[in-house]
Chain A
Amino acid sequence: MLETGIRQMRMAMSMALGRRLSTANLARLVEDALATLDEFGEPGADSAALLDGPGADPAAQPELVADSLRRTATRLADRSPFYARRFVAAEINPRRIDTDALRRVPVTCKRDLIRRPAEFRCAGATPHLATRTTGTTGRPAEIWLSRYELELWAGLGALAAVLRDDLRRDDVLQISVSSRATASVHLNAATYRLVGAGCRVLGTVPPDEALDALAEDGATVLLTSPSYLGELVNAAGRRGLGPDDFRLRRIDVSGEVLSPSLAAAARRTFGVAEVKDNFGMTEVIPVTGRLCTAGHLHFDATMGYVEVLDLHTCEPAAPGELGTLAITPYYPYRECMPVYRYDTRDVVRALAPDHLGCEAATAPASGVVLGKADALLRLPSGTIVTPRDLVEAVESLPTCPWPARYAAEVVDGRLRVTLSESAVAGLGHAGTREHLASCGIEADVAVVDDAEAQYLRAVRSDLHETTFVSSPQRLGA
């Protein structure tokens, strides 16, 4: 107990002073946490404070934010060629930066990362693993991570997951995301290794093979994207599989919009109580977001600074307005190829921080992610239709067209939604229009055949990986 106290103190001191954390110390704390759960069945009373670090105290947050922004900016000015130039150009002294001065720092965009990746690498940090973004917004960005970062995030993730009972020793995780998402795959495998739990990296293989692995080998946690989850639910339905065929206790998804209808179907099919819809993005790791019961997206104030910026002015969005998430991961949680004020282009609604009234009210929050900024549709009436509006409306069609394949555009001042034949089967144009209207979307409907519909909208599950399981036998093999 005394040793554990000293380890906690070491970690807390590093977090409070902004120094590199000892990853070996963190790994031992994970073992201590497991031993604590073995003995008591639950962590002690102040586990929330331990998990949230110095950011748990709202009164301390302004000072924490200012210190962390300064520390991170100072390091970047010294070691990152891109940001050294950027701070000079913006005439900003990184040692005096605060939340007001921060607004003078131009946001960093994905194209900056794609065009000049080498300029983002910090001098002195040793790159260990490159990871590529696997989203659907075009050319991927490549991010280099150091060994320290990977060990740190795995340790922090394992500690939090164990204390929150999200991860148990007897868990088996099935990772059904693109195998090219090396950061996600590596981190999850390392996290499960620290706890002594099982991890199966499967990738986005044909859904039937993923279902076989889930059903036969008894994974307890599934990590995937909403679009691939839709394919799994459809495949399970075709094969008549139900809750009794699986021993899953949780499904985690991120990276795309998860519709309530798909989440409900996944709960029914796999027999899980909840499908967790998390926010995570390769470029801004380790800053992540979690949904509270009130539907707010909460961010860890210790790991990074999250702003909701007006879509046009890049100034802070007023409460209730739409804005894009700009995220600054802090040093020492990010060291190799960090970003500062990274514009994720993920659109959310800004919230008034004093009126959250939820169980996680002390953590900074925004509304749920509504989709990418470039995919917003503005109608002449001023109404903005978001990708979330469309995904939720389409995926709630009685035909269960998961993942939603649609195209939407404004034609002559009216919204037109293009769907596949199978999606509108039994409803026709009129019935589909009525359904969309009942979801708050007044739109004309166009229909294309199913083959063509595959190209209406790209989703993460389009990154299918092939195997030899379902391929025909070759002669002479």
Chain B
Amino acid sequence: MSLVWPTILVLIVAVTSVLVVSGGALFYLHRVRLERPAIGRFNRRDILLLFGFLVALPLLYVVVPQWLLTGFLIVTFIGSLSIGYRPVLRRTWLWWSIGLLLGSNIWLARTMLGTLAGWDLYWAENSLIVALGAIAVANLYAQGGMRLQHVCWFALFLAFYDAIFTLVWPITNELTERFLGYPLDPSMGMRFGIYNATIGLGDLLIYALFLTTAVKAYGRHVVRAVVAIIVVFGAAAPALAPLLFRQLIDARTDLIVPAQTLFGPVAFAYYRWARRRYGAERTTGQFVASLRGRPAALPDRALIATVG
């Protein structure tokens, strides 16, 4: 089997997707402020919890019936889109838009996948939902206090996780197969002939988080380096890897690449370098203050009474 054509397709889809999502997340970070709860910020324990979810959810996704899986995905996307775009759209517009996007996706998946044009329409619409979702969630985390340190440790964990669950215990392959052709596939993709080229929501989210938290931590001058790492190690290298490693082709001739295995160690190494080069990360408050052109300051507020 010639791998050149599918590899090029994956390369195009992957690079385009990571640039759209990471760029969109960065744009959002600079333009939109998400509401935060009164108390709470992202910390290490949240990362461990996220990792726990990440390990448990795919196992659950593999065993639950398809209708329940679709239900989970609907709830997930409604949650991310409604939280992420509440500051941008009026409530009526927001809910109509979400309903239209998700409803169309279900309709397209059920009725339009008999033709190539139908697949392309489905993938275009699905990719829009996934990109919007990834941009929203990346900002929810980054604006919620997640730091570059957290993202890079998480990426390092994922490097092992991805390798194990792709090469040793191919849960990822099974999941990819389960999602394909059903509503709300958590991937961005496109179909060219018989090939579906996709990149998963989890990967996109990590890249968007890497860029947003890096800019939050050290400012815009890190954009070039970070985008280069994302494009080279997050999109290009995983897309080209099957040319060198035939083990990535499974029995159904699907190409499943553990992208985080390539990206995680590089991202972590970059974080260690950046920390030595630029020092401690800025807090979210300092970042927001820098956007407003002033240093972070505490508000002057009222007092609680004390008893004499």
| Chain B neighbourhood of A183, CB < 8 A | 307
A279–B49 Cα gap in the complex (Å)?
44
| Chain A neighbourhood of B302, CB < 8 A | 164, 166, 290
Instruction: List CB contacts (< 8 Å) of A158-194 with chain B.
Output: 160-161, 163-166, 168, 177-178, 181, 183-184, 187-188
Q: Does any Cβ of A come within 8 Å of B118's Cβ?
A: no
Which residues from chain A sit less than 8 Å from chain B, CB to CB? 1-5, 8, 29, 32-33, 35-47, 49-50, 134, 157, 160-161, 163-166, 168, 177-178, 181, 183-184, 187-188, 223, 225, 250, 252, 254-255, 273, 276, 278-282, 285, 288-290, 460
| Chain B neighbourhood of A40, CB < 8 A | 36, 41, 145, 283-285, 288
B307 in contact with A2 (CB, 8 Å): no
- Identify 25 residue pairs between A and B in the complex whose beta-carbon atoms are under 8 Å apart, listed by A's number: A1-B40, A1-B46, A2-B49, A32-B39, A32-B40, A33-B39, A39-B41, A40-B41, A40-B283, A42-B285, A42-B298, A44-B39, A46-B38, A164-B301, A164-B303, A166-B304, A187-B307, A223-B306, A252-B305, A252-B306, A276-B303, A278-B305, A280-B308, A282-B308, A460-B308
Q: Does any Cβ of A come within 8 Å of B23's Cβ?
A: no
Residue of A nearest to B299 (CB): A42
**With contacts A5-B40, A33-B39 known, is A41 near B296, CB below 8 A?**
yes
| Chain B neighbourhood of A288, CB < 8 A | 304-307
**With contacts A41-B283, A41-B285, A289-B305 known, is A2 near B46, CB below 8 A?**
yes
B303 in contact with A166 (CB, 8 Å): yes
B39 in contact with A45 (CB, 8 Å): no
B298 in contact with A254 (CB, 8 Å): no
Q: Does any Cβ of A come within 8 Å of B42's Cβ?
A: yes
A5–B300 Cα gap in the complex (Å)?
25
Q: How close is B154's CB to chain A, nearest CB, in angstroms?
A: 14
A280–B283 Cα gap in the complex (Å)?
37
Residue of B nearest to A32 (CB): B39
9 closest pairs, A vs B, by CB?
Answer: A278-B305, A41-B285, A280-B307, A4-B40, A44-B36, A288-B305, A255-B308, A47-B38, A164-B301
Residue of B nearest to A1 (CB): B40
Instruction: List CB contacts (< 8 Å) of B250-308 with chain A.
Output: 283-286, 288-289, 296-308
Residue of A nearest to B285 (CB): A41
| Chain A neighbourhood of B177, CB < 8 A | none
A280–B284 Cα gap in the complex (Å)?
37
B284, B303, B308: the one contacting A250 at CB < 8 Å is B303
A164–B306 Cα gap in the complex (Å)?
14
B40, B296, B306: the one contacting A187 at CB < 8 Å is B306
A8 in contact with B37 (CB, 8 Å): yes
A225–B307 Cα gap in the complex (Å)?
10
Instruction: List CB contacts (< 8 Å) of B28-61 with chain A.
Output: 35-43, 45-46, 49
Q: Does any Cβ of A come within 8 Å of B200's Cβ?
A: no
A340–B78 Cα gap in the complex (Å)?
49
A279–B303 Cα gap in the complex (Å)?
12
| Chain B neighbourhood of A460, CB < 8 A | 308
| Chain B neighbourhood of A43, CB < 8 A | 38-39
| Chain B neighbourhood of A160, CB < 8 A | 304
Q: Does any Cβ of A come within 8 Å of B144's Cβ?
A: yes
A46 in contact with B37 (CB, 8 Å): yes
Which residues from chain B sit less than 8 Å from chain A, CB to CB? 35-43, 45-46, 49, 144-145, 283-286, 288-289, 296-308
Residue of A nearest to B298 (CB): A165
Inter-chain pairs besides A2-B46, A44-B39, 7 sampled, C-beta below 8 Å: A2-B49, A36-B38, A38-B283, A44-B37, A50-B38, A50-B39, A278-B305
A288–B303 Cα gap in the complex (Å)?
11
A3 in contact with B45 (CB, 8 Å): yes
A329–B60 Cα gap in the complex (Å)?
49
| Chain B neighbourhood of A44, CB < 8 A | 35-40
Q: How close is B248's CB to chain A, nearest CB, in angstroms?
A: 35
A36 in contact with B301 (CB, 8 Å): no
**With contacts A157-B304, A276-B303, A290-B305 known, is A41 near B41, CB below 8 A?**
no
Q: How close is B291's CB to chain A, nearest CB, in angstroms?
A: 13
**With contacts A40-B283, A41-B285, A42-B285 known, is A164 near B40, CB below 8 A?**
no
| Chain B neighbourhood of A33, CB < 8 A | 39
B35, B41, B286, B299: the one contacting A1 at CB < 8 Å is B41
A164–B42 Cα gap in the complex (Å)?
21
Q: How close is B144's CB to chain A, nearest CB, in angstroms?
A: 6
Residue of B nearest to A47 (CB): B38
| Chain A neighbourhood of B43, CB < 8 A | 1, 35
**With contacts A46-B37, A184-B308 known, is A41 near B303, CB below 8 A?**
no
A177 in contact with B308 (CB, 8 Å): yes
Q: How close is B160's CB to chain A, nearest CB, in angstroms?
A: 23
Residue of A nearest to B140 (CB): A1
| Chain A neighbourhood of B307, CB < 8 A | 181, 183-184, 187, 254, 280-282, 285, 288
A1, A252, A279: the one contacting B144 at CB < 8 Å is A1
B308 in contact with A254 (CB, 8 Å): yes
A166–B308 Cα gap in the complex (Å)?
18
A8 in contact with B38 (CB, 8 Å): yes
A39 in contact with B38 (CB, 8 Å): no
A134–B144 Cα gap in the complex (Å)?
46
A210–B298 Cα gap in the complex (Å)?
29
A460–B41 Cα gap in the complex (Å)?
44
A36 in contact with B35 (CB, 8 Å): no
A50–B298 Cα gap in the complex (Å)?
19
| Chain B neighbourhood of A187, CB < 8 A | 306-307
**With contacts A41-B289, A41-B297, A165-B301 known, is A36 near B41, CB below 8 A?**
yes
